[in-house]
Amino acid sequence: MGGGARELAGYLAALGGWVAALAAAALPQWRQSSYAGDAIITAVGLHEGLWMSCAAQSTGQVQCRLHDSLLSLDVHIQTSRALMVISLLLGFFGIIVSVVGMKCTKVGEEDPVTKSRIAVAGGVLFVLSGLCTLTAVSLYATQVTYEFFRESAVPINARYEFGSALFVGWGAASLSMLGGSLLCCSCPPQDRRGQQYYRQSQPSTAREYV
* Ordered per-residue pLDDT tens for the chain, 210 residues: 556 788 888 899 999 999 999 999 999 889 888 766 555 555 567 888 899 888 887 777 788 888 877 777 888 899 999 999 999 999 999 999 988 888 777 766 677 778 888 889 999 999 999 999 999 999 999 998 888 877 665 656 667 888 899 999 999 999 999 999 998 887 655 444 444 444 444 554 444 444
Please tell me the distance from the alpha carbon of residue 69 to that of residue 32, in angstroms, as a whole number. 21
Does the predicted TM-score (pTM) go above 0.85?
no
What pLDDT is recorded for position 208?
A: 45
Beta bridge partners of 137: none
Q: Are 79 and 85 in contact (CB under 8 A)?
A: no
Please tell me the distance from the alpha carbon of residue 164 to that of residue 49, in angstroms, as a whole number. 10
- Convert the pLDDT of each residue in 123-161 to its tens digit: 999 999 999 999 999 999 999 888 887 766 565 666 788
What's 26's DSSP letter? H
> Percent of the chain at pLDDT above 70?
76
Fold annotation for 7-27+73-187:
Butyryl-CoA Dehydrogenase, subunit A; domain 3 (1.20.140)
Q: Which residues contact 135 (CB under 8 A, 6 or more apart)?
A: 83
